[in-house]
Amino acid sequence: MTVILGSAVHGKAIKPFAGIAIGATVALDALFGGPISGASMNPARSFGPAVVSGMFHFLWIYFVATVLGAVIASAIYRIIRF
């Protein structure tokens, strides 16, 4: 969320490069987060396999963490934007 706000929304950002910054962030998340957690950044992507496997024990983290992370990133962006 911070990369999106800083590269695509910020007034001083170079907008044509926003896609590169956002894509690189997603790629790095998959590269480093994939081996640890599966790098699921989409709650719907986590929900489907949980339904098929019947394992809902840790599913809540994918819904809470994504929303909470976006809210916190937005609040931090409002504080530090210039």
pLDDT tens over the chain, length 82 residues = 888 877 877 777 777 888 888 888 888 888 887 777 666 777 887 888 888 988 888 888 888 888 898 899 889 888 887 6
pLDDT at residue number 68:
92
Instruction: For residues 30 and 41, give the distance between their C-alpha atoms in angstroms, rounded to a whole number.
Output: 9
pLDDT at residue number 82:
60
Look at the pTM and tell me if it is higher than 0.75.
no
pLDDT at residue number 39:
64
What residue spans of 1-82 are helical by DSSP H? 2-4, 18-37, 43-53, 59-80
